[in-house]
Structure 1
Amino acid sequence: MQVLVKGKKDKINLTKNHFVASGGEGSIYARRGTVYKIYTDPKAVIHYSKMKELSSITNPNVIKPERLVLNSKNKPIGYTMKHVPKTYALCQIFPKAFRDRTGMDTKNVLNLVQKMQKTIIDIHKQKILIVDLNEMNFLVDKKFNEVFFIDVDSYQTQSFPATAIMESIRDVHNKTFSELTDWFSFAVVSFQMFIGIHPYKGKHPTIKGIVDRMKANIPVFHNDVKFPKVCMPFDTIPQ
């Protein structure tokens, strides 16, 4: 597949050797330090105006859209972004077995959580909300030094409201998105990073499901909830 990058003259040839993954929106290719996100439906491509608003984020760990990708008819079909090789999806580091296998410790986790916190502050300074701050939207380098924010095209900017959020990190007690709801989602994800379980999981005798438990304010450390032994103890979280 031959494509053009807006603002550049040379055509780019994306082959199966450059293919990385595919999902609901489209396919991902990586070539010479650049990632190309190609949408299945060109009508779904991020608006150029939103890309400009997202460009105000300068933190290098936010992997934001950089340039539009065009087809042979000069129509947008995707965008480019920085390639971050050799990473784990954030959710991979949750299980205790992962720590045992890789040697990752609580000090590593605290470093990642603090860097996430700093990056969220940087994003909020630009009047932008993450909204769908779920564990699938982050990558961790294999030395556990850095955490990268991905799927940035879904962020809420001043002109483009967010349209989706994973239920497991949504603040069910708020009907609108704000910096505070981002911090609620961050708390859910960081708890999983330290303990290895969602803060509203565990077995409750009568209330089933994460959303119902959140509505009832019954977390995993409630007296009526059975805590799985495979998780890290609560005192793993630094005081």
Structure 2
Amino acid sequence: MPAPKTPGLPEVVVGGSRVKLTQQMYVAAGGEAAIYKHNGRALRIYHDPKDMPPVDRLNELSRVTPKNVVRPIDVITDAKSGQALGFSMDFVTGTEPLCRFFTAAFKKANNITPVISGDLVVDIQKTVAQLIAEGFLPVDLNEMNILPSLQDFTPYFIDIASWATPSFPATAIMDNVRDPMVQGNAFTAGSTWYSFGVIATQLYLGIHPFHGMHPVHKMDWKKRMALNASIFEAGVRVPPVVPSFAVIPKAHLDWLKKVFADSKFRDAPPLPGAVVPIPVVPAATRVINATGNFTVDHWIKLPQDVVDVCTNFGNTYVVTTERVYWVVGNTITPIFDRSKYRQVFITPLDAGAVVLTAVGGGKVSFWHYTHAGGKTALIEEAPLTSGYFARNQRLYSCVGTQLLEHEFMNLGAKVLHTTSHIDNVNDLTARFFDGVVYQDLFGKAWLTVPFQAGATISKAILQLDGYRVIDAKMVGQICAVIGEKNGDFVQFIIAFDATFNTYKVREVKDQRELNFTVTPNGICVMLVGDKLELFKDPFSAKVVDNPPVDASTRLLMTPAGVHFIDGNEVQKLSVR
């Protein structure tokens, strides 16, 4: 892809050594500062040196002891003037923003079980308790400032420069975690625990404690926070994707109900104790029927929740949360145990055979299955690299700066696995999503799309500039992106033309889930809010009310038409 223009970068001093900042070191930029990487450290350089926190504040923050807190290490100064420009800290990789762990789609795609979510809540709670005991208040405890590792789910706390220290007050907090009882910046340990309760609720249930439909208080969530009108009150309706409150350990559930109902109660929560691991509470069985605008036909039912479906030469392969199955008619045959793997991708071969790519445990393994032989054989195993995703019935990954396309050739007795270098990406800023690569190149948002086998195209998407990209998905010529700015979430619907040279962008506010598919003739079927939209041009969509799908389901395309996953079932969807 083309290299962006590089702004003038200073020479700085870090830990007594002179460092010349370069384009290759750039990682990301926000409203206050840019991040660079050098020798395994993240260098936070403020756009305006006046925004630099006092050195005494940084010195206090450098003394926090939890190892999962990314603390200041060295003050960074301008090599010429000696002016303080920022500070260094450890550089963490292989993480995702906490808000991605709130969504059912991300949890299912990455095999994140209720037990993992519960353990993550406890790890965050223990870290907060230790910080408070040391005299620090991690006030801005929001879903963007905690980054769980995808390897061991360690929650890394970042952006700590605004925290309250023994000598300095807190300076920033997002509204969605702010205790409404706090006046000005008079934050306390109790208000910090209130913020913890907000993110704990979202980890357990996938919903903010003041969203949903309240039977009496029908105003927006900010006003409901001030009225203590949470989802835990009787009569509040929540989306079907929200699980039973029984997934929350009783000690935590009782505490959450009280902290969101009583303005004077801000005690620290108890640890769940023996209640963890969290029991998996089955969702209530529901029957999805046809509506006035739709026809729904049952297709297949599996023993576990379905994650993905691939049909190849009349053979259907289904990935569930525990296994991969080969399905022919009413016969369901387990062919692979994926319970220990975070992700599984299916790549079609000829004659109905497939390659299964299993990601997990710090490695990737490739397996060949043919229904003729009836067995799954290991092709090869390798250390895990970054950025695995599927598109064009191909598999893609990244090694360093190289975007690779994987090809599998069935030679009968064995499968030949080869890779081709099809593009270059910035290994520090590239993020890999379903069918698309996102890069922040000096504050400019770029999308790289393998638009056909062996070929990519990269486009700067101006509308995404200034947003933190949380999720993205590309199917056919339609790309949808969830971006966050100042606590507000926006879905960008990007429709490319047939040559991928031009595009249109539509913005939908307050959207956090991506749920769509695209038919072979290019019609996008997308769930937007509680309505289903059909379009090629996102500004000329046919809007259909009362669809039989919602945020708890997932739309997908098979050779037989549009389908949707509903728990452990797959249904066919037709518009009348």
* TM-score where L is the length of structure 1: 0.94
Q: Secondary structure at the match of 2:151?
A: coil
Distance 1:197 1:130 in 2: 22
The residue that corresponds to 2:234 in the other structure is 223
Quote the Cα distance in structure 1 between the aligned partners of 2:248 and 2:152: 17
Structure 2 matches for 1:183-198, cutoff 5 A?
Answer: 183-198=193-208
Structure 1 residues 144 and 213, CA gap change in structure 2 (3 angstroms): farther
The code of the aligned residue for 2:175 comes to E
Q: Distance in 2 between matches of 1:13 and 1:85?
A: 23
Correspondence 1:152 to 2:160: yes
* Rounded Cα–Cα distance in structure 1 between residues aligned with 2:218 and 2:179: 18
Give the drift of 1:203. 1.9
Deviations 1:94-127 (A, max 9, x none): 0011111000011111111111111111111221
Instruction: Please give the alpha-carbon distance, in whole angstroms, between the structure 1 residues aligned to 2:25 and 2:146.
Output: 21
Tell me, yes or no, if the aligned pair for 2:163 and 2:171 is still in contact at 8 Å: no
Structure 2 gap ranges (5+): 1-8, 251-576
The correspondence of residues 111-190 of structure 1 with structure 2, limited to 5 A, is 111-175=119-183, 176-190=186-200
Q: Which moved more, 1:147-156 or 1:54-63?
A: 54-63
Give, in whole Å, the separation in 2 of the partners of 1:124 and 1:4.
33
How far is 1:30 from its partner? 1.5
Match of 1:210 in 2: 221
- TM-superposition CA deviations, 1:20-76 (whole Å, max 9, x none): 111110111122210000100101112111111112211111101111111121111
Bigger Cα Rg: 2
What is the letter of the counterpart of residue 153 of structure 1?
A
Determine if contact 1:70/1:77 at 8 Å carries over to the other structure: yes
Q: Distance in 1 between the 2:13 and 2:58 partners? A: 17
Aligned to 2:29: 22
Listed as ranges, the matches of 1:46-61 within 5 Å are 46-61=53-68
- Structure with greater proportional helix content: 1
Q: Which residue of structure 1 lines up, in the alignment, with residue 77 of structure 2?
A: 70
Computed over aligned residues only, the root mean square deviation of the Cα atoms, in angstroms, reads 1.4
Aligned position for 1:34: 41
Answer 1 or 2: which has greater strand percent: 2
Matches of 1:174 and 1:73, distance apart in 2: 41
Aligned sequence identity (%): 36
d(CA) in 2 for partners of 1:56, 1:80: 14
One-letter amino acid of the counterpart of residue 75, structure 2: L
Q: Secondary structure at the match of 1:87?
A: coil
1:222 is paired with a residue whose SS is coil
Query: Which residue of structure 1 lines up, in the alignment, with residue 18 of structure 2?
Result: 11
Contact 2:213–2:236 under 8 Å retained in 1: yes
Deviations 1:176-208 (A, max 9, x none): 311111111001101101110101101235432
Which shifted more, 204-213 or 56-65? 204-213
The match for 1:235 among 246, 250, 275 is 246
- Contact map agreement 2:70 2:90 (CA 8 A) in 1: yes
Going from structure 1 to structure 2, the CA distance change for 1:231 and 1:144 (only over 3 Å counts) comes to: farther
Structure with higher RCO (Cα < 8 A, 6+ apart): 1
8 Å contact kept, 1:221–1:227: no
